[in-house]
Structure 1
Amino acid sequence: MPLTLLDGPRIAPASGGAAKSLVVFLHGFGADGNDLIAIGREWARALPDTAFVAPHAPEPCAAAPMGRQWFDLTRQDPEVYKLGVAGAAPSLDHFLDQEMQRAGVDETKTALVGFSQGTMMALHVGPLRPKKLAGIVGFSGLLADKAAIAAPEAQKPPVLLVHGDSDQLIPVQALFMANEGLTEAKVPVEWHISQGIGHGIGPDGLSLAQQFLQRVLGAA
């Protein structure tokens, strides 16, 4: 896939000063950056020195004409996932480089927060960055390429996985499989199952993710 220049909505630090950290939201299949950026407004009080950005994925989504996709999900197949995250990675990596430069921070003060297909991207791109990220939060997603993150040169950023026990689109078993793959790669993982939540994000998941980000970004 050729490099695509990404862009999306941003929220400046609530403190009004320069950013001391950066959170990048990666949306799910058929949505766009506007789908998750509102979470940044909820977290702004707890993370007042953090800038938030939510890029629109690089491709239009045929299944949702107003939405975007990181890669095509017409076939729900592990090989499609593996090739998809690898194909979209260069555009996301370029965006992260540019956005960290814009905010004046590096990987040590940058976290990724993904939902669904965005979690696939976060769990793939995050560990393969040249420097270790502050952390990764993955809501309702899966680990697309276990072998890639197990490579000796891969980084080991702390990860929080959150999944609803009533998710019928990506069953909660995906959390356990991701946890196993990340643990085998020696990536530190925390996880939480939200009771009664389908393919979405519950209040408990949002709260735990906020606390995780405060901790890994040094904002606690």
Structure 2
Amino acid sequence: MLDGPRIAPAAGGAARSLVVFLHGYGADGNDLIAIGREWSRALPHTAFAAPHAPQPCAGAPMGRQWFPLTMRDPHEYARGVAAARPALDAFLDSELARHGLGDRSLALVGFSQGTMMALHVGPQRRERIAGIVGYSGLLADPRALMADGVNKPPVFLLHGDQDDLIPVAALFGAAQGLAQAEIPVEWHVSLGLPHGIDPDGIAFGAGFLRNVLPR
């Protein structure tokens, strides 16, 4: 079972919603949980969790990975997100049960490889989740979102125009794939930003979540 850092609702008492951060390749859950501390001011009744990905990372021995990356196989993204999906689904089920919440109170926030996971797993949950925020990532398997039973949570994609790891064109490809699956998508491009998250992106993400999570 996956595990990682958590933040209780700033307002105290039971959580009314849950945000789960999905970190990038070679990082771990500690990489994004600080965003939860900042967002807790805008989302005082929200609990935050940031699981460590299931595998040690060959490319970063101190970090974790959702799936291996060789950059040589055009299908490895699709196979990777599918293979990692059961572990993430199990964590989400457990964390929702911990708080007595359902999928409609859940939002996923991914960065890079974590965005690949969020965009793959989120729409395939049993019920529609509240929303997905994806930073600096891509849509790993557009065909999976065309299957029967796929849900349509609102998505907000953010990317830097100077990203040399996952070029900003990936944002537009993801937006097109989501639109073809009739999943509502908004996007923002940060000028001058490399592969990362800037203060504007953090502010936009908080605003989006305030709109989609249960009040």
Map 1:97-112 → 2, pairs under 5 A: 97-112=93-108
Mapped pair 1:87 → 2:51: no
Give the C-alpha shift of residue 152 in structure 1. Answer: 2.2
* SS of residue matched to 1:67: strand
| Matching residue of 1:209 | 205
Letter in 2 for 1:66: M
Counterpart in the other structure of 1:183: 179
Q: Per-residue deviation at 1:75?
A: 2.6
State the match for 1:119 in structure 2: 115
Name the Cα RMSD after superposition. 0.8
Q: Equivalent residue for 2:150?
A: 154
Cα pair 2:9 2:47 within 8 Å, conserved: yes
Could you tell me how far 1:13 is from its partner in structure 2?
0.2
Distance 1:32 1:201 in 2: 16
8 A contact 2:16–2:214 mirrored in 1:
no
Question: Could you tell me which residue of structure 2 aligns to residue 31 of structure 1?
Answer: 27
Structure 2, unpaired ranges of 5+: none
Q: Is 1:53 the counterpart of 2:49 in the alignment?
A: yes
Offset of 1:218 from its aligned partner? 3.2
Structure 2 equivalent of residue 138 of structure 1? 134
Alignment of 1:3-42 (within 5 A): 5-42=1-38
Q: TM-score, normalised by structure 1?
A: 0.96
* Paired residue type of 1:201: I
Q: Where has structure 1 moved over 4 Å in runs of 4 or more?
A: none
Instruction: Supply the distance in 2 between the matched residues of 1:136 and 1:144 (Cα, whole angstroms).
Output: 15
Structure 2-normalised TM-score?
0.99
The 8 Å contact of residues 140 and 170 in structure 1, kept in 2 or not, is answered as yes
Provide the rounded CA distance (Å) in 1 between the counterparts of 2:73 and 2:97: 36
Per-residue CA distance 1:153-187 (angstroms, 9 max, x = gap): 10000000000000000000000000000000000
